[in-house]
A = this chain, B = another copy of it.
Amino acid sequence: MRAAVMYRAGDVRVEDRPDPKIVQPGDAVVRTVASCVCGSDLWPYASMPATETGRPMGHEFLGVVEETGADVTGLKAGDLVVAPFKYCDNTCDYCAKGLHNSCRHGGRYGFDGVDGGQGEAVRVPYADGTLVKLPVAADSALLPSLLTLSDVMTTGHHGAVTAGVGPGDTVLVIGDGAVGLCAVIAAVRRGAERVLLMGHHPTRTDLGRDFGATDVIAERGEEGVARVREATGDGVEKVIEAVGTRESLDTAFGAVLDGGTISRLGVPQYEEGPIGPSTFLRNITLTGGASPARAYIEQLLPDILDGTITPGRVLDRGFTLDQTPDAYRAMADRQVLKAHISL
């Protein structure tokens, strides 16, 4: 099969790889129908050291089940399924708590002999636990939105859940990338009355307004904090930080009210953060983290099926699998918000 492999920062190639086969009885082989490039793929694209064997890329995909192992009971060849961005058994103590990304048997696509999602097919371990059947045809117009259940929409939702967003709330979303925009959708979906979106790419913040953002703040850093305070009187109780840089974390601490909550969705690009006496005296809660996407797929699915939410709009340009290197480049250059790869 053909699949995307990264060899070092800036070097993504589409090449021939062995066709996936059932290895464990719980495996399924999924023929990929759609995949995409994640904002987090851009971190290795910017910094990965050279490797001889390369790393199969991609962790967001949906596709059609081609073959199942002997122990798989909930899926059969021909089923259209979406995969959360990590596989999981959906039975361990962490999964039982809804923390599927900490699954005792879980793992990442592209590691440990498991294929990446940016390729023609994927062997999915713990297929019964991992994959969710989609009640639409493989050519449905809903496919882009359903694909976001793999990661960005479930991640945005995780931010709104962990920040405790509820009816009438005012929420600040920092970052106008695909995750930030999905966090806007999620906050509105949970009843937030006012959603401030901090971002400086007008095409993205315009999409954020379409999703329900009531205020757009183009400034960053201290100036951004000042704008938030101006707009809200004093600050906000709930902040969703969807970037991951230290600067955006500092902005979150600056904009949050005493007693407020910062939920992080962007993978931290720092090791230490400002949790000294000031954070303590102000009773600020820091929460969020890697989304347990699997926990949320069934919750969000009905809203996509009935058109209540349309997160697929963040996939603003399509590519073929062979164009995957172009997709990375376009996203890294901020020409594309999120690249959709059709197979």
Contact = CB atoms under 8 A, between A and B. Distances in A.
Which size bracket describes the interface of A in this complex? 20 to 34
B276 A270 contact: yes
A290 to B, nearest CB: 5
Interface stretch (A16-24, A280-288, A302-310): A280-288
A320 interface: no
Contacts of A97: 259
B267 A280 contact: yes
A198 to B, nearest CB: 20
A94 interface: yes
Given A273-B272, A277-B267, A285 B287 contact: yes
B271 A271 contact: no
Contact of A281 (B270, B276, B289): B289
Given A94-B259, A259-B94, A99 B271 contact: no
A268 B272 CA distance: 14
A185 B275 CA distance: 27
B283 A99 contact: yes
A102 interface: yes
Contacts of A102: 258-259, 282-283
Interface string A44-73: 000000000000000000000000000000
30 contacts: A99-B258, A101-B281, A101-B283, A102-B258, A162-B283, A162-B285, A264-B280, A267-B277, A268-B276, A268-B280, A271-B274, A271-B277, A272-B272, A272-B273, A272-B276, A273-B273, A273-B275, A273-B276, A275-B286, A279-B289, A280-B288, A280-B289, A280-B290, A281-B289, A281-B290, A283-B287, A283-B292, A285-B286, A286-B286, A286-B287
